[in-house]
């Protein structure tokens, strides 16, 4: 038996383990230092009451013969798909429930969707980037070309028509940079994709953090995007589902390549290699869309966004260039004093006892940049920014 | 963008939709007929109280800051992996928890595992078979060779050393035939795999239905199997998790091909394209292994196996050849009177108002055979067998 040798080409990522080692060593030497972590992109607030009540009720249903659920539809129950469809309706995007595929999260779908595309395609990925886009394509042996996201373009690269790509990744609001494309910019991407016969894989996992009404929260708010884009979304950051696992993927009925509807291929992939999201979890996810669920998750998102605002305003005050923080829980800053990413990491840990993520870990263009997140308590965020201000005086 | 053209080679399966259409048409013409379904392989008993209590408790934990769980380890929480490890220990199979990967079910893992193997491998699949083995390899463009399972070999084909295969599927107890390999037979397969440098993908989803102590419930009960086999198991049939979604895959540390540990590749696949099973569900799965969970699921399995026994003994009584039913919830019978699969389906529906699954739907060697399952109430099973006996007189 021969292994898939593409796996041997994967770069090992030591980013978070390196961070954890450095923090561990520092803590050991400085046992009294109260370290504040603004590094990892995981939520800190618990599930809202509407969701836990739905989870509990569904758990009880599963214990009664009359309300027990065995195998469900692989693409999700109607009650959840309809709620998602209505949510899109409010954004001005009309979908049918058959275009919505419920899954265990955007990460799974972003990886698994590649199964329906030929390995011969050329993939266009921005740098810096969420590492999953690169790794999943490397595993399949696809040709990857990178596109520079940098200070000059505000970490929002635009299409280059001298480059031919077949599969294009766009994440907006972006992880790690927090930058958000406006509608005119996304329109340029849609036009490029239509002209070049390319497909856009649009990762909208952070859409619920968008505050400015003029900014798009779905690529389907752009004309003709249904002809060239698949959209991936998740309850992870919207409703604190990082450990609860539910997301959804939209494959429009209009989306056709080589005369084949991609929705049909994706349905076949999912019915063959997936058995649906647990009934209990789907009930929890549906509760996110009830009036009380919505007001409760809005309070959580508001809480994180107030944190982000505090960080962003502090950086403005001390004159540190950054993207994000306004329509995203991520703040992507240019390391002050010309420091490199890891230098600033060490500096912030030593002088402020604050942990962030070196931008270099997200790609070569991340060098000299640094990611902070809004996922912590108000108290910790306020203390962290106070310390960052004081540390800035030492540069 | 080019699609994966292998998808166009997939055979569309209309098996269960054809069944449903036929049953629908019959019901319409015979509105008073009480139809009993022994067709689909889905459980009918609800989750046991130990599991629902754990699901409810974990749901409440997720609503409190102190006990909330965000991202967990992709390969599963220690508390569940340790419980699975101990379960294997009782079977005389020593595993470390690091060799166990918790997933959302055997179907997902059986499909996704192929990612770590080259598409150049030749795959050996028995016929008749669970269609997922064939479809997932067709999607990747692998060469598939089939192996005849038939009445002569009791639907337990043995290795043919004139055939060279790289990836071998074994499902025991088998779906759809219910046949179970003994240790000596599995040993021959292990020897073949070791001699030919092949890997065995061992699907043990029905292991908890094995009643005869001498029969293996894990391939690792066979010497040296850890050097050539990956095992897939599931809580679906064991504990009624078909709609709750949890399973596990064992990749032994000793398993190495081309000098690469397969466990390392699988970990990389899972950390890249999967984000773990919901915390709540893992707590429910762990409850399966508590003393009360075990006695409760044993009662359910006993219930199904008594159903299977009733069907099997009835077939013996009327002289219908069959496999399964003794160590499996499936009964695979030879259609009486030389009928073809669909003929017998129509006959049974018309004369006994009983629905089963035509064997032909599982492969060419299934023609002339028929699958019944034990997943129904005692009352319905007893009534169904009474009707089958009466119908037999009409042949």
Given a cut of 90, whether residue B12 has pLDDT beyond it is no
* Residue A251 pLDDT class (50, 70, 90 cuts): very high
* Surface of B (118-137) touching A: CB under 8 A: 118-121, 132, 135-136
What gap in Å lies between CA A183 and CA A388, rounded to an integer?
34
Given a cut of 90, whether residue B51 has pLDDT beyond it is yes
* Residue A242 pLDDT class (50, 70, 90 cuts): very high
Helix (H) or strand (E) holding A186, with range, is helix A183-196
* Residue A41 pLDDT class (50, 70, 90 cuts): confident
- Per-residue confidence (pLDDT) for residue B17, from 0 to 100: 87
Given a cut of 90, whether residue B13 has pLDDT beyond it is no
Give the closest-approach CA distance of A119 to chain B in angstroms: 7
What gap in Å lies between CA A101 and CA A252, rounded to an integer?
10
**For the residues A292-319, what does the mean pLDDT come to?**
97
* pLDDT tens-place string over residues B168-187: 999 999 999 999 999 999 99
Given a cut of 90, whether residue A171 has pLDDT beyond it is yes
**For the residues A70-90, what does the mean pLDDT come to?**
97
Give the mutation candidate from A272, A287, A304, A329 for the B interface (greatest B CB count, under 10 A).
A272
* pLDDT tens-place string over residues B83-98: 999 999 999 999 999 9
Coil, strand or helix: which one is A383? Answer: helix
Beta bridge partners of B102: B248
Please judge whether B3 and A260 are an interchain contact, meaning their C-beta atoms are less than 8 angstroms apart.
yes
Virtual CA dihedral for A208, A212, A218, A219, nearest 10 degrees?
Answer: -150
What gap in Å lies between CA B247 and CA B305, rounded to an integer?
21
Distances in whole angstroms, Cα of residue B371 to Cα of each of A157, A356, B395: 57, 58, 19
The mean pLDDT of chain B is: 97
User: Nearest-CA residue of chain B relative to A112?
Assistant: B273
Please indicate if any CB of chain B lies within 8 Å of the CB of A5.
Answer: yes
The DSSP string of B262-311 is HHHHHHHHHHHH-----HHHHHHHHHTTSHHHHHHHHHHHHHHHHHHHHH
**For the residues B51-63, what does the mean pLDDT come to?**
98
Please judge whether A3 and B257 are an interchain contact, meaning their C-beta atoms are less than 8 angstroms apart.
yes
What gap in Å lies between CA B327 and CA B308, rounded to an integer?
9
Half-sphere exposure for B90 (CA within 13 Å, toward CB):
9
Coil, strand or helix: which one is B231? Answer: strand
Which residue has 């001699």 as its token pair? Answer: B195
Give the closest-approach CA distance of A176 to chain B in angstroms: 17
Q: pTM for the complete prediction? A: 0.97
φ and ψ of A253, to 5 deg: -60, -30
Scanning B8-130, the segments in alpha helix (DSSP H) are 15-29, 49-61, 78-90, 106-112
- Per-residue confidence (pLDDT) for residue B94, from 0 to 100: 98
Please judge whether B199 and A260 are an interchain contact, meaning their C-beta atoms are less than 8 angstroms apart.
no
Coil, strand or helix: which one is B93? Answer: coil
Q: Percent of chain B beyond pLDDT 90?
A: 96
Helices (H) and strands (E) in chain B, counts: 11, 15
What gap in Å lies between CA B185 and CA B158, rounded to an integer?
7
* Residue B11 pLDDT class (50, 70, 90 cuts): confident
Give the closest-approach CA distance of A86 to chain B in angstroms: 25
- Per-residue confidence (pLDDT) for residue A12, from 0 to 100: 82
* Residue A40 pLDDT class (50, 70, 90 cuts): confident
Given a cut of 90, whether residue A173 has pLDDT beyond it is yes
Which two three-digit tokens encode residue A283? 């009930």
**For the residues A108-117, what does the mean pLDDT come to?**
98
Question: Which among A64, A117, A281 is the nearest to B46, CB-wise?
Answer: A64
**For the residues B314-324, what does the mean pLDDT come to?**
96
Give the mutation candidate from B243, B256, B271 for the A interface (greatest A CB count, under 10 A).
B243
- Per-residue confidence (pLDDT) for residue B373, from 0 to 100: 97
Structure letter (DSSP) for residue B51: H
ipTM: 0.97
Give the closest-approach CA distance of B336 to chain A in angstroms: 31
Q: Percent of chain A beyond pLDDT 70?
A: 100
Helix (H) or strand (E) holding A43, with range, is none
**For the residues B13-36, what does the mean pLDDT come to?**
93
């Amino acid at each position: 038996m021969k292994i898939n040798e593409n796996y041997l080409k994967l770069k090992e990522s030591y980013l978070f383990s390196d961070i954890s080692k450095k923090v561990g060593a520092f803590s050991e030497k400085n046992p009294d230092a109260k370290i504040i972590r603004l590094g990892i992109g995981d939520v800190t607030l618990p599930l809202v009451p509407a969701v836990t009540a739905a989870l509990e009720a569904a758990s009880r249903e599963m214990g009664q013969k009359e309300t027990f659920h065995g195998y469900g539809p692989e693409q999700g129950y109607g009650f959840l798909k309809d709620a998602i469809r209505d949510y899109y309706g409010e954004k001005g995007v009309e979908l049918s429930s058959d275009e919505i595929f419920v899954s265990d999260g955007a990460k799974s779908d972003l990886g698994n969707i590649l199964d329906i595309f030929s390995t011969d395609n050329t993939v266009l990925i921005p740098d810096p980037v969420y590492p999953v886009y690169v790794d999943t394509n490397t595993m399949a042996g696809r040709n990857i070309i990178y596109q520079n996201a940098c200070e000059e373009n505000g970490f929002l690269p635009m299409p280059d028509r001298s480059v031919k790509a077949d599969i294009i990744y766009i994440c907006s609001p972006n992880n790690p940079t927090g930058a958000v494309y406006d509608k005119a910019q996304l329109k340029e991407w849609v036009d490029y994709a239509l002209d070049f016969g390319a497909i856009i894989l649009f990762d909208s996992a952070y859409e619920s953090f968008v505050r400015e009404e003029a900014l798009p929260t779905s690529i389907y708010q752009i004309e003709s995007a249904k002809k060239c884009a698949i959209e991936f979304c998740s309850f992870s950051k919207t409703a604190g589902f990082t450990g609860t696992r539910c997301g959804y993927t939209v494959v429009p009925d209009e989306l056709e390549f080589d005369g084949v509807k991609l929705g049909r291929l994706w349905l076949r992939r999912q019915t063959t290699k997936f058995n649906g999201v647990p009934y209990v979890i789907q009930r929890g996810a549906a509760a996110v869309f009830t009036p009380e669920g919505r007001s409760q998750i809005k309070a959580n998102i508001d809480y994180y966004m107030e944190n982000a605002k505090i960080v962003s305003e502090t950086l403005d005050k001390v004159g540190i260039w950054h993207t994000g923080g306004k329509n995203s829980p991520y703040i992507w800053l240019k390391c002050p004093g010309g420091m490199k990413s890891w230098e600033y990491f060490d500096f912030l840990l030593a002088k402020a006892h604050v942990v962030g993520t070196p931008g270099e870990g997200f790609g070569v263009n991340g060098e000299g940049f640094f990611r902070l997140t809004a996922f912590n308590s108000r108290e910790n965020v306020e203390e962290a920014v106070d310390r960052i201000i004081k540390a800035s005086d030492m540069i």
